[in-house]
Structure 1
Amino acid sequence: MPNKQSAKRRVRIAERNRIYNRYWTTRCKNAVKKVLEAVEAKDGEAAVSSFDMAQSVIDKAVVKGVMHRNTATRRKKMMALRIKSLDA
């Protein structure tokens, strides 16, 4: 348990940030899972619509500093390749 006032404040801030980051990380993971489930079900329309939503969520996470931009690009590329292989 911290003794100094500044250390107590940092504990509160760290907990607040942890909850915020966990919310956005979970939201990103769920969006990606929806896309991959649609691809597994071979449902092209659902995959494309959930891909658009997943891109939006991932880009928002990058802007908020929760996810690194290269990680976001890698995830979007992976989903796009899966959807492209579905069309072929």
Structure 2
Amino acid sequence: MANTLQSRKRVRQIESRTAVNKARRSRIRTFIRKVEEAIASGDKDAASAALRAAQPELMRGVTRGVFHRNTAARKISRLSARIKAMG
């Protein structure tokens, strides 16, 4: 357990930051899930619209430190490839 004042404060800061990051990650996953559901339904227009909405959210997660930039780029690339393959 944390003993010094500084380490106790760090524990409190980490807890609050973890909650914020968890909410951000959940929000981004929701956007990604909407894209995948649109792809599964076969609606290319809805899927591309959902991807356009998801891209800035993913990149915002990168700037906030929730995701690594290569992870976000990989997810966007794979989703766009799946939409493109829908024909």
If the length of structure 2 is used for normalisation, what is the TM-score? Answer: 0.94
Structure 1, unpaired ranges of 5+: none
Shift of the alpha carbon at 1:67?
0.6
Note the 1:1-80 alignment, pairs <5 A.
1-80=1-80
SS of the aligned residue for 1:51 comes to: helix
Shift of the alpha carbon at 1:77?
0.5
Large movers: runs of 4+ above 2 Å = none
Shift of the alpha carbon at 1:3?
2.1
CA shift digits 1:55-88 (9 cap, x unpaired):
010010001111100000000011001100112x
Shift of the alpha carbon at 1:44?
1.1
CA distance in 2, matches of 1:53, 1:17: 25
If the length of structure 1 is used for normalisation, what is the TM-score? Answer: 0.93
1:82 is aligned to 2:79: no
Shift of the alpha carbon at 1:2?
2.0
